Amino acid sequence: MNKSQIATIVIILVVMGYLYALPVKGLIKPKPENTTAAAATASKAAVTVTVADVSATAKQALETTPAKQISDLEAQLSNAPVGGKLALQKQLATKWDEVGQFAPAAFYYLDIALQSNQLADWLDAGKRFNSAYKVSQDTAAQAAFITNAVEAFDHATKLQPNNLEAKMGLGIAYVNGGAMPMQGIALLLEVVKQEPKNHDALLNLGMFSMKSGQYDKAVQRFKTMVAIKEEVEPYFYLAESYKQLGQKEEAIAAYEKCKELMGDPVAGQRIDEYIKELKK
């Protein structure tokens, strides 16, 4: 499975999760963030969620051969002397990447970064933790992923303060964590100011606009994205934003385009329900 295939599967999983988390009918009111509780949960979860926890869960989704290869490497790692662990951690990070399992990969990249203190390693860890947060439904694990993402990107920005990838990753983690949303949005706006077509910054700014009920702003972000490149995720969120604004025709058109690009019959049926409801 190559990186392009993994990225496509992840996007479909994210959109499918969003599809089935929301009712077909009615507007969705944004929920207020309890930032104190979010910060406390994140702090606790960072201690209790380990690489062993996420590896055990991730293996359940693997075929026999890659699962055995990873288990063998983990056994070697547990018995390796201190000086021999780094090479095995790199192998495990790569293996988990190859099968599209972000959470265990993230923990191994974090171990690598703690030893190397290299910018690229901190970025690798932070990106995997943000991705793990995005696809996870486990709130305790999500909190741990955010805490570790912030740590990784914070180290990266200290090494290279003007690195846009580090700023963007830190901004995403801040907003997802709920404790520092405005600081996170400010970082993302800095990225967009320097790179107006930055895919991840635009996507996350649009999603954060949706969460705060600013659907008009979300529409502008997602329209910019699909004008650059037609993709499933921004089209889906564009449709949702139009729906919340009561712009039914625009929402239907965006849903139809999302369905066309996704090519998934199960998700397509759900999108048809959304379209049917809008046509009433």
Provide the residue range defining the domain that includes 195. 16-33+178-280
Confidence of residue 45 (pLDDT cuts 50, 70, 90): very low
Reported residue count of the chain is 280
Cβ distance 278 to 270 under 8 Å?
no
DSSP state of 246: T
Question: How much is the pTM?
Answer: 0.82
pLDDT for residue 215 is more than 90 = yes
Confidence of residue 18 (pLDDT cuts 50, 70, 90): low
Tell me the residue type at 256. Answer: E
pLDDT for residue 60 is more than 80 = yes
Q: What is the pLDDT of residue 107?
A: 98
Report CA torsion sign: 171, 175, 177, 179: positive
pLDDT for residue 16 is more than 70 = no
Write down the residue that tokens 């606790």 correspond to.
44
Judge whether 52 lies within some domain.
yes
Among 117, 152, 187, where does a domain finish?
152
Shared domain for 218 and 263, answered yes or no, is yes
Judge whether 159 lies within some domain.
no
Buried b (16+ CB within 10 A) or exposed e, 48-76: ebebebbbeebbeebeeebbebbeebbee
DSSP H stretches of helix in the chain: 3-21, 35-48, 51-59, 64-79, 85-98, 102-116, 119-135, 139-159, 164-177, 181-194, 199-211, 215-228, 232-244, 248-262, 265-278
Say if residue 168 is exposed, middle or buried (CB neighbours under 10 Å; 0-12, 13-18, 19+).
buried
Among 113, 134, 152, where does a domain finish?
152
Q: What is the pLDDT of residue 15?
A: 56
Section 62-78 average pLDDT: 96
Give me the number of domains the chain comprises.
Answer: 2
Q: What is the pLDDT of residue 2?
A: 46
Shared domain for 49 and 148, answered yes or no, is yes
Judge whether 77 lies within some domain.
yes
